[in-house]
Each structure stands twice: as structure tokens, then as C-alpha cells.
Structure 1
């Protein structure tokens, strides 16, 4: 049938802009946006009319309503346009003949599909736009509308460009699931999401789609990407169920953006976040974070910038992290009916309505149930009868998220799978011994296949059977494969990674014969053990451990007596220690200790191995007494059983020495390491890593005792030996650099310390990532170096950033977090908000008093710092009493000549002056200067501080001649030591009284 064509301009509506109304299915919105942009640039007025073919309205009425619009009507022809409703081809043919044919001149059409369409669509004379480039598609569009086809002038540089041609991909595209060709409805949600993101201010384009399990959040996000993706230059989809996976997948965006980085994903991640924030090289980016149910895990890593972030989550708490919320409910009944009829064409509309009612409109359940009902001869009435108790009387909710009928519906579906491909049930049951979500079934394929149960061996050894089982599970939407465009090197086509919904996971796991449960859990345990790379200290292998740890609980690995499985548990604990996952590691370690003691006895070798790793985690989390108790039990037993030259006994003592540090028993720790280092050297030699660990710990023990020169010498020896043995970027070599730079700083060699520490921070970020606790320790020391150099502009923000990241990574009460808070409080006392400094100081002091025994040097030091804040706000008497107590307690804890005690004395002399006790103040500052000179040397910064303070006290006594002499000598030494422009020199020259800040030393 031929159609009469007329130009767009012939509207009969006067001389205003010509109008084109674009009628399109929501599925083809990207085409509508591109076409509309092309026409508007040529001066036309465009009206968008999304086609919504409601099943309860005759097609002739809907087409008649479309005829009421102004100007020409341009229909974007696709199978989606004619399937909405859903309508039969016969219905469409009749309506097109009745309504469109008499008014063919009003209609024009372009086709974006090659699918079979109703025959009467020929009346639209659609021009084909597929399988061609944008220029040719535009020429054809304009020709169809009888518009000039002359090319438009190029847009000025920097002007925002319109939507991308829909047949072309964004320049960067990764990880996006395949488009769900059965996607139905959700138009209001998609439009709301679009407008919320497009209307957001730059840097605030973050939207969270939240709702219960099975409601279709991921499918909705994927559809958003396909509908609106042409408006972005970058579309990147990330599995955000865990922090480590999120970081890795985000880092893999770096090469796609063309960013010049090294191979370390910490460096790549920083480059990606900076690139997105700046909008360079791409400003129009869309990042999808799928399954981000734990905002606290990743919110600090969500990039800001000119682009958009779309999050799917069951957790509405994202609103606390500057995200807008969009709730995703179950389907409306109309959406449910439309979806069921598309999924199961054999079902009538009343059947679909009944089924939707029974399944409570939950998309996941509708998808799975309708899929197999379409292949079955069972009626909907029969199926609903089964749901109501005919097949399983135990119809209960599995969790608050699950519909009542879910368990029974699954019993029916599993029976169907069992009848067709029974191996699919075996594979599905194996998957439930991994954590729900993304299942790394590649681990099953890669494990040794000897001595496997017969039914599993057949499945894993036969690629055809494997693929058949996976395809059967996919057919009924039990699992989904990761896209062939998945990020990383996982091969979806080979079934390397499946996605198993947590609802499905729970019901299948619950409904399993005991014999299968025993066999399948053993297979998964062995697969996890085989995946253990065996070196938890190697940062290059941390991704592999991150892939194992989430599954330990579901495989119940602690019940295994397999030595390889037990070794894997120990290695995972070691990994959790190095990556700062202390709380999770302690929970796993404590469960393991209780379980293994029951299974193996109190004195099995595994108990001592486990005790060592658990003690490390407890100590890192500040649980010193618990760590020391576990370590002491191990030490006593191993000494009695094996003697003093046993390596396990020495290792237990190494840990116990660190516990003594935490408890403030520094001299005991020093004595222990004075014995341990030669003991290791005699047994293993000078260059063994364990010998070097003992040497490192001896150096730290000396630093805690204020013996900085001796500690520096040991740190230098340890650093050189570790670089030779382990290479310069090994975590232990980097750790030695922190120790060495810290001692340089404590000795007043600030420039050297800053130079080394700045280099160390750069390498830590490359090797271990920006948020690793050791990286933060390095940055904390760098902030201290900058502060001592007088670079307050760089030190202040770094103190703030380190503290905030410690709080996010380790929590408010971790020893490293508290140490960072102490430093931050001291800095802002002098260079920031005194009220904030006081609040922070009160908090840290309360935590120390709660966690540590009275008399601990950290408590005394915290009180010394707090006294300075009280002085600054005018509470002199309270400040004086507090510093006197701190000085007494510090002397009792570490001795009169320790630098910490001398520092307390410097501050106490100032407070004595303020309350009028000038003679006592001068005597105390004189004593402090003498003691500092004796232990640290005449020109050490603390000695110089005490000398300057003493000069001020002498002036307070009226002894101007001695004060002048003391001051001039101190100024001369300050200038020679730190330089005449150093802030301490300038401050002393201005006669500002110096003070000392206590700095907790933690590892």
C-alpha cells in the first residue's frame, strides 16, 4: 500500500514553528530523544508522546487520541510498539486500516527493528534506520519528513552536544547486563529516575533505587541504562555488594578512560575518582552500583562530579549519604498481567490476573513461575491449588522479604527442573554453599576433580552437561549469567560466574537432602581451599582472598578437618589482619577457636596457629588484655611441652611482647625482645624474615622507652635487610620505612623525615591502596612531619582526612583512630576550632580511660594534652590540677627521664606560672631542660622547647640577665638546628611560650 506524503510544514496552523509529534514505546526512548534533537536543531517544535497501549482501551480509541495532536505524527516502529498491551497482530491490522489509512498524510514513520510486524504497518511507509551510521540515518529521517537534508554547521567548541546516535555505544561501556527483552512497565519509575538525576546539581547526581528482594531493582537499573545510556559518554556497571570487589571493578575503569596509571588498583582507583570528579576526559558519565546493600562499606568511595550515580539497594540508609531515594515497589497489577502474558503467551488475561494475585505481584517470582507454566500443560487453577497447600503443607515465609507462596512455588519449580535436567539441581545446590549473589563457579571448574562424588564429578567433567545444566537454570530465571561484557576476566559464556538471588539461595539451601548437603558442602570447601593462593602478605593476591572470604560462612569451613581447608582459614585471618578487617577477622577467629577446640582438643597445633592470628587481630583492634591472655596461655603451654627453642614458642612470645606494648608495660616488652632477637638469629640466621621481625619489634620497644637514637639505628638495619630480602615495596619493607621516618622526626630531623615519609606514602598508596590501615599510618606520620616543619597548610587537611578515613575503615574506638584523633585535636587546638578540639580530646581521653588500665601512659598523655585545651579556654585551675596529675602518672609509668615525662614537665611549668607559682615553675623547667639534654641531647627540639620555657620562667622571676642568656643560647641552637625561618625559631624569637604535645605510638 502506498502512502500520501506531505511536508512537515503543511500543518495549517499559521506561520509559527512546524510541529512533529513523536510517538514511541518507552523501550525506544533513546531513538525518540535522538530524532527529537535532530529536528529541534532544524527549527521544528517537537512533542514527545510515549505510547501506552492500555489493554482496557480499544486500539482505535488510542490511535484516535493520537490524531488529536498538532502537526505531523512520527511513529518510531519497533516490535515494542506493537507488543504493548499485549495486542495481537490482528487487532493492530484492524485498527491501522480503520484509523490511520484514511489519514495517512498525517503520519510518517521510521523503523528501528527488523522483527516481524503487523502487515498493515505498511500504511506508515516506515523508513529503515537500522544497520547504518548516524549521518545516513539523519538523511533518511529528514527525507521521510520532506525536510532539507543539508548538513548543519558544527557546534561551537565546549557546547553541550545532544544525545548520541542510539545504534552506537557510549565511548566507554562495561559490565552492563544484557537487556531484558521481557522488561515490562515501570514507566513512571524510569521517568522519575531520569528527572531526578538530570535535575540534580553538579556533584549531587546520586540516586538509590531501593526495595525488597526480588522486586526487580537490577532489571530496572539495566533498563534505565539502555533507555538513557545514549546521553552518556561513559556507562560503567559495578557489582557493589562488597568493598573489595567494588574497588577492583572501579579501578578497571582507569584504562578504559585512558588514564596513565600503574598496575596497582589503589593507584587506578584514585585516578578514576579524580577523573570522574573533574569530568576529564568525559563529563557525561553514568556509574551504576548494583546490590549496594551496605552503604557504610562503600559510601566514601562513591565519586562526585558532573556525572550520575545510580545505586540499587535494599537499604534506604543511602539517604544519609547524600543520595536521593526512589522506592521500587512490586508490580502494579496491570504490569504483572502484561509481564505474565509476555512471559507465558498461552495464558489468558484472567489467568494472568489470577496468577499475579497468588504470587503477590513479585517480579522475580512471576518471571520464574510464568516461564515454566508456559511450557507446562498445568492450568493456573491447578497451580494455585498447589500453592495453597496441595504439594507442601509447610507454606511459611522464609523471611520478612519473602511472599507467603514462595516456598511452595519453588518446590514446584524444582520438581520441573528435576524432571528435565537433574544435573541442574545438583549445580544449584552446590551454589548454595557459596554466599548468595555472584557465585564464583569457576572455582568448581578449576579445583582438582579427583575423588569427587559421582553425581558432581560427572557435572564438572563434562562441558556439555555443565552448559546444559546452566542453560536450564537460565531458562527459568533461576540464575543469570554475567554479561559477555562483564568487567574483568570472568567468562560468562563459559559459566564462570553466575548470579543467584538471595531468595532463591535460601529456599534451595533449606530444601536439600542431608546426604547431598554433606557431599556438596565438602566439594565447595575443597574448591575454596584450592583457590587459596597461600600468601596473605602479597598485596597482589588480595583480590583472590577477597573472593574467598565471603563464602567461608556458607561453606561452614570451620567444621572441616581437612588440613588444606584449615590452612585456608588461617591465611584468610592473616589477610583480614593486613587489610584492616579486624572486627570480621575477630569474629571468624573466635568462632574458629571455639570450634577447633571442640573438634581438635586444646593442645592441637592448629590451636596455636589460630591463637597467634587471633591475638594479632585483637591487638590491632585494641583488645590488649584478651590478646595477652590468649598469648600467655600459648606461651606457658608451649614452653612446658616443647622448650624455649621451639619456633612456635618464640612466635607466641613475639605476639605477647606486642600485647605488653598495648598494656603500657614497655620495659617488659624490651626485655622480651632483647632475648627474642638473638634467639631467632641463632636458630634461623640474620636474614630470615622472622629474625628481622624480632629486630623490628626490638626497635619499636626502644622507641616506646624514648631511646630514639638506638631505635633509629635498629630501624635502619631492619629496613636495609628487609629491602635486600623482600624487595623495597614489600609491606614489611614499607613498614620499616615508617618506623625509620618516625624516629627521624622524633629526633628532630624533620626535613629528612618528611622526604622519606612522602615517598613512603606514595608507594603505600600504590601497593596497598589509599584506605589500608598501614597506608593511613604512613599518611598520619607524614602529617606529623609536615606539622613539625611548619607546613600547617598541608598538615591540617591531612590530619583531618586521615582521622576521617580511620573512622570509616576501623571505627571510632580503634587504637589507630584514637591516635589520629589525638593528633587532630592537638593541631586544631592551635590552628582551628578550640571547641572541636575540646570535644575530640574529651572523647579520646574517655575512650582511653575506658579501654586501658589507670596509670597507662596513654591516659597520662591524653590528660596532658587536655590540660592545654583547658588552659586555652581559661579554666586554669582545672588545667593545672590535670597536668600535675598527668606528670606524676607519666613518671610512674615510664620514668622521670622519658621524653613523655619531660614533655609533661614543660607543660606543667607553664601552668604553674599561670596560677602564680613562679618559683616552682622555674625549678621544674630547669629540671626538664637538664633531663632532656641528658636523654636526647642539647639541641633536640624537646630540649630546646624546655630551654625556651625556662627562659620565660626566669623572666617571670625577674631574673632578666639569666633569662636573656638562656634565651639567646636557645635561639642560637634553634637557628642552627631548625633554621632561622622555622616556625619554632620565629615563635621563640617572638617570646611565645612553647608547649609539648603527647603523641600515642601505635602500630
Structure 2
């Protein structure tokens, strides 16, 4: 027990979590009350409130100085500036070499303790001296090169196994992981969840990451392996796409561990490995791109080590603890683009990220093409006009294929194995990129020309949606499915003229069958929100489809009534321009669009233009519809 018990808050950057766990463990071991976010804060807590409360309670803030720590985009900046502003005690310990220019001027005068380049005993002594004063530890920790004994977990959710000194242990003795991606960005909360799941002590020493193709599953697993390499003795990466090769891959690991018998065969050696791992700790097996869970029956290692699985198939949900990955948060997309293309403006980065749907693979491809000599404007234009051709180029390191090739491979497999699911995927490509309610399909199942639905199949469309999820081509839940906008664009580009026309016909059938309700009624607005995104995606083809034009006019009314004036202006302006050119200025639907455009531009202070448009619309409606037509009277009311 130290002479004076401190209430310690450990302040660190996300990539340095292994250091934070190590420091928190040893400070608790000697009796300090330590608060560490990943051990003590619950999912759903307000991060800012918890941080402020912890800073108020702390008598000492141990700050793990690193280059990551001083990244201006991280919350650590708020943490150390708050401590300095309140003149409270901050104990800086450096975990990697830093120069004076790396540290903010206000902190350069604060005495720091270096932990980097020390062995673990010396690092523990340095840490405790920094917090306690010159007192050493009471018990001798184990040498990093030997397995550490398991201690009871400290209160507050810390792991049961003593964390190792990150710099002291280095890479594991057995390691076959490829080089780290130097451009890995974001995903801090996700990597934290993976770490917590693997340390959770339930069945979930196995974690599965699943999601769409190009979402970055392999890159996240790679970053986790490197970030926490020091906490393992063995890290073994297995390309699990070919399930029949798993026994061979296990035999290779058994040979590296010195437990294989060459004459015994792959199956015997794989079983020997699994039995060996069951008795060992500090190992991590990564099964990358594992498809069908049934192929891995009896082949997932058990014991006190960890298994990390990446897969497109959400079927792993039923067997192990799983995380369903989404696209980048917009902030991560902006950070990635800004780091890779230093001259890009925030508006340019935001526009490109929006065009690419924040898909990590697509962002990496875009950077590869743009930085090799193409202007950003040219790239965005081609992305609209020639999506499939553009996405076939610029395959980035670390990904097995460019996005277009990955989509082609998955869709070809899907067409061969599940033709009905392939038809549904093609139809979904002509709807919008937002979630598509499965109830819409159920309502028109007997009127679709692109899909032959068995009238006796009571499980359709669920039976057709499951393969889309398994092949990583769509996100599927109990009420909706969603296809990424770039996957949709590639599929549309790959469709012939006849298939395109038939798909457009079916989409029109779906969208005219849906009735979201009265656009003036707030209770109907959630239904209109989903409906409008899919209508707007078809606004260009709606010009030739009368059944969609009136629905788009009603959608514009919903946007205005629900206070979305900017979105309404963008939609109705595009419709008015298109319909004026094709249908003529006196067509009833053109006049409908002019009527609502006059309304919406007045919200932006364009009163003169709004009055001119209402006058013109009223004159045309009087002439074409008559003085007493309800639309004519509506225009007179708007002008008044």
C-alpha cells in the first residue's frame, strides 16, 4: 500500500490502450483507486459527463504521452487542458520517444517520466515513483518472456490476466501477420469493443466481425493484431476462405510450436494443436474471411486464448459473439481523406465521402486514383457516369480486389447458387441506397416481372434476402434490407438495356403501390422519410413515368411541411427543370412542380422570384384548367 492513496484517472489515446491497461493494473496492485474508462464506464454512458466526473474525482491524472496523445482531433486534448486549467496534479509518463516540438508548449516545463525503452521491472518502478514518489513495488512481476500468472480481476471490469508492458514484450514469439496498414484511420470505439469482448470471460473468447464487402473487416483485425501484439505469445493469421485448408493451416502452426508430427497427417496435427491451445493462454488465432460456420464445426480453438473471425456471413451471430460492422463514420472518412490528400478542403472531402457512401475500400481506391494524377472533380464526375469502370481501378494495398471486382465475384457466386436472390439484388439496385422495407416487396410479390415468386412460398422474400447477407452484398434485418450505393451503381452499370427497363418497371410498381399516408400529417412523416429517399433516387426516370410524377410532387409537399426546405428545394428544382424541358411548361405536373417551387424559394428570402413564379403558374392554370379548378384556386391563394 502506498504512503498516500491517490484517486487516479488514466488519460490516454485510443491506440495506446494496451499501455493504459498495464499502467492501471499496476497502480491498482499497490492500492491506488484507479479509474480507467474501458474498465469502469458502461456502454451507453455519456462520455463527456463521465470524463468530467472522473476528472473532478481524481487527485492525480496519469497522462500517457505519445504522438497519438497530442493529436488535436482526440479527446485527450480536452482532458489535459482541463487538468492544466484547474491547476490539478498531472503525472506525465512518456511511452514513446518525443521531442520538445512534439509536446504543447504549456506542458514542456512539466517533469516527465520515461517508460519507453525500459524493461518491465524498471518501467513499473518508474511508474510508481511518478505517482507515489520514490517507492518501488512490493512484489516482483513476472518477466515478459514467460507466461504471467493469472490474478483475480480488480473491481470495475479489468481483465483477469495481468497486462504486459507493451514495449517490453515486443512481437510474439510465434507471429505470421503481415505488415500493419500505415494509413489505418478511426474505428477506435470498435477496436475497444473487440478488446473488451475478448477479455470478457464469457464464451466470447471468440469474436466475429461481419459486414458488407469492402467495409474493412480484415483491416480492423490486422490493426487489432498489431496494436495488442505485446499481450500474446502466439498470433497466427489464417486465410479461411477455403475451409478445406484449415487443417493444413493448423498443421503449419503446430509445426511452428514444435508439436507437429510430419508423418501423422493434417487432421491428427490439427487436433493436437487444438488440444495444446486448450491448455495455453496468451494466443490469438485470426480466421480471416471465414464463410459458412458449419464448415468450422469442431475447428474453433477453445481455452483461455482468443479467436477473431472476419466474415461477410451474419450466420456467425448464432454461434459466437459478433459485431456487425458499418461504413465509416463521416468523421473517420474526413480524417482519412485529409491525411491521405493534405490539400483537400473539408467541403471537398465531405462531398467525396458522400459520393462513396463512406465505404472504406471505396475511399482507399479513390485516394489511389486521385493521388496518381486525376483531379477530384474529374473523379466525382466519372463516379456518377462510369461507376463500374472507375471502381475497377485503383485497388489499394491490403484489399484482395478493387470494389467492382469484389462485387462481380460475389454476384457471380450468388447467381450460380441462388438465382432468385440474384434477381432480388438486381431489383434492389434500382431503388435508393437507404433501407428498403421488406413489406414493400410482400405487397407486390405477384406483380413483379423480374422475379418469379412461387405463390406457395410463404417465406419469400426472407429466403431470398438471407443469401444477400451471407455474400456481403446487403445488410438485412427483420424489417428492411440495404444495398450500398456503390454496389447498386455497379450492378446498374452491369445490367443490359432489357433488364434495366424491366427493373425500372418493377420499381415503379413498388413505389406506386406504397401509400405512406397524408404528407400533411406528422404521424405519417416517418413513412414518408423512407419513401421519399427511394422516390428521389428515381427522379430522373420519373419524367417518362406518369405514375411516379404525382408521387414526387406529394413527396415535395411532405418535405416542405416537415421543415426540410433545403432538401425540398433541391428536389423540386430538379423536377421542374426536367419536366419543363420534356413535358412542357403547361403540363399539369410541370405546373405542380412550379407551384411548390414558388413556395419553397420564399423560405430562402427570394420573394420577388417566388411572386413571379406564382403569377406565372396561376396564369397557366387559368388558361389550361379553368378559373374554378381546385389547382387554379390553390395558385390564387398562394399568390394572395
Q: Tell me the distance in 2 between the aligned counterparts of 1:96 and 1:47.
A: 14
Answer yes or no: is the 8 Å Cα contact 2:11–2:79 preserved in 1. Answer: no
* TM-fit CA distance, 1:137: 1.7
Q: 1:114 to 1:237 in 2, by over 3 A?
A: same
Q: Does 1:191 align with 2:174?
A: no
The residue number in structure 2 matching 1:529 is: none
Contact 1:176 1:236 in 2 (8 A): yes
CA contact (8 A) 2:94 2:114 kept: yes
Instruction: Determine the C-alpha separation between the residues in 1 that align with 2:165 and 2:49.
Output: 33
Q: Match of 1:78?
A: 66
Measured in 2, the distance between the counterparts of 1:376 and 1:97 equals: 41
1:324 partnered with 2:306: no
* C-alpha separation in 1, matches of 2:57 and 2:185: 26
Task: Specify the SS of the correspondent of 1:145.
Answer: helix
- Structure with the larger RCO, 1 or 2 (CA within 8 Å, 6+ apart): 2
8 Å Cα contact 1:410/1:507 also seen in 2: no
After superposition, give the CA deviation of every residue in 1:436-460 in whole Å (9 maximum; x if it has no partner): xxxxxxxxxxxxxxxxxxxxxxxxx
Report matched runs for 1:589-604 at 5 Å: none
Structure 1 residue 288: Cα displacement: 1.0
Equivalent of 2:115 in 129, 133, 147: 129
Alpha-carbon distance in 2 for matches of 1:294, 1:503:
22
Aligned residue in 1 for 2:338: 341
Instruction: Mark the CA change 1:43 to 1:193 in structure 2 (over 3 Å): closer, same or farther.
Output: same
1:737-771 CA distance string (max 9 Å, x none): xxxxxxxxxxxxxxxxxxxxxxxxxxxxxxxxxxx
Partner of 2:97: 114
Q: Note closer, same or farther for the CA distance 1:165–1:97 as it changes in structure 2 (3 Å cut).
A: closer
Relative distance call for 1:502 and 1:346 in structure 2 (3 A) is closer
Structure 2 residue ranges without an equivalent (≥5): 39-47, 143-147, 152-160, 418-640
Cα separation, 2, equivalents of 1:249 and 1:214:
25
Alignment CA distance shift 1:319-1:284 (3 Å): same
The structure 1 residue matched to 2:305, chosen from 292, 295, 307, is 307
Q: Indicate the SS of the match to 1:305.
A: coil
For the residues of structure 2 that align with 1:62 and 1:303, how far apart are their CA atoms? 37
**Offset at 1:44?**
0.8
> 2:157 matched to which residue of 1?
none
Asked if 2 retains the 8 angstrom alpha-carbon contact of 1:85 and 1:338, the reply is no
Query: What residue number does 1:914 align with?
Result: none
Q: 1:181 corresponds to which residue?
A: 182
Tell me the residue number matched to 2:35: 47
Displacement after TM superposition at 1:213 (Å): 0.8
Contact 1:343 1:371 in 2 (8 A): no
Question: Cα offset for 1:240?
Answer: 0.8
Task: List alignment gaps of at least 5 residues for structure 1.
Answer: 1-7, 11-16, 51-59, 397-406, 414-476, 481-498, 511-552, 555-583, 585-1003
Verify: 1:291 aligned to 2:209, yes or no. no
Determine if contact 2:94/2:116 at 8 Å carries over to the other structure.
yes
* Shift, 1:65, TM fit: 8.1
How many equivalent residue pairs? 385
Q: How far did residue 367 of structure 1 move?
A: 1.9
Gap change, CA 1:207 and 1:62, over 3 Å in 2:
closer
Counterpart in 2 of 1:23?
A: 11
Q: Deviation string for 1:691-730 (max 9, x for gaps)?
A: xxxxxxxxxxxxxxxxxxxxxxxxxxxxxxxxxxxxxxxx
Output aligned runs, 1:408-487, within 5 Å. 408-411=390-393, 413=394, 478-480=396-398
Q: Structure 1 residues 268, 19: CA separation in 2 closer, same or farther (over 3 Å shift)?
A: same
Question: Which structure's residues are more often helix, by fraction?
Answer: 1
Cα separation, 2, equivalents of 1:28 and 1:190: 12
Does the CA-based 8 Å contact 2:59-2:88 persist in structure 1? no
In the TM superposition, what is the alpha-carbon distance from 1:351 to its structure 2 partner? 2.2
Aligned-pair Cα RMSD in Å: 3.8
Summarize the Cα distance change of 1:504–1:200 in structure 2 as closer, same or farther, 3 Å threshold: farther
**Cα distance in 1 for residues equivalent to 2:340 and 2:16:** 20
Could you list the per-position Cα deviations for residues 284-330 of structure 1 after superposition, in whole angstroms to 9, with x for gaps in the alignment? 3221101112333333322222322110000112234x222210111
Is contact 1:343–1:367 with CA below 8 Å preserved after alignment? no
Is 2:14 the counterpart of 1:32? no
CA contact (8 A) 1:86 1:338 kept: no
Mapped partners of 1:261, 1:306: distance in 2: 24
Q: 1:315 to 1:502 in 2, by over 3 A?
A: farther
1:213–1:314 contact (8 Å) kept in structure 2: yes
Distance 1:359 1:86, change over 3 A: farther
Structure 1 pair 102–195 and aligned structure 2 pair: CA distance change class (3 A):
closer
Deviation sequence 1:517-553 (CA, Å, 0-9, x none) = xxxxxxxxxxxxxxxxxxxxxxxxxxxxxxxxxxxx9
| CA distance in 2 between partners of 1:331 and 1:134 (Å) | 37
- Describe the shift of the 1:163–1:347 C-alpha distance in structure 2 as closer, same or farther (beyond 3 A): same
Residue 181 of structure 1: how far off its partner (Å): 3.3
Indicate the SS of the match to 2:34. strand
CA distance in 2, matches of 1:173, 1:205: 20
What does residue 351 of structure 1 align with? 348
SS at match of 1:301: coil
Q: Distance in 1 between matches of 2:339 and 2:182?
A: 10
Structure-2 change in CA distance of 1:246 and 1:152 (3 Å)? farther
Higher radius of gyration, 1 or 2:
1
Counterpart contact for 2:391–2:404, Cα < 8 Å = no
SS at match of 1:79: coil
Q: Matched residues in 2 for 1:301 and 1:134: separation?
A: 36
CA distance in 2, matches of 1:118, 1:350: 30
